[in-house]
Amino acid sequence: MPDSAPAYLIGHITIKDEAKWARYRAGVPATLEPWGGELVFRGRRAAVLAGHHDATDTVVLRFPDLASLQGWFNSSAYQALIPVREQAADVVLVAYES
């Protein structure tokens, strides 16, 4: 049995500027690799079946463990993308342990 469980990051996204969002998205994959992060899912909301959910898009990333997820988020490579992200979209990022 592994010593640590995978961790997931879920991003709830409402895009404000498609061109800047494309630039941000293009930069993210290289920041994931050193931390063992991988894209699990990216999609646009089809319907809200229960409750209230304003975000139009969602992304799910998987990391080997919570320390890797936090290391990625705090890395200088990812931090450099945050100003573009903030101009491009309203984003809520939530980390989960499994």
Q: Read off the pLDDT of each residue in 2-15 and give the average, rounded to a whole number.
A: 91
pLDDT given for residue 3 in this prediction: 66
45 occurs within a structural domain = yes
* Residue 87, domain CATH: 3.30.70.100
**31 found inside a domain:** yes
pTM: 0.91
Q: Could you tell me if residue 1 is inside a domain?
A: no
Q: Which domain holds residue 34?
A: 7-97
Span 11-33, pLDDT tens digits: 999 999 999 999 999 999 999 99
Domain count, the chain: 1
The residues near 21 (Cβ < 8 Å, ≥ 6 apart) are 15, 88, 89
Q: Report the first-to-last Cα separation within the chain, whole angstroms.
A: 14
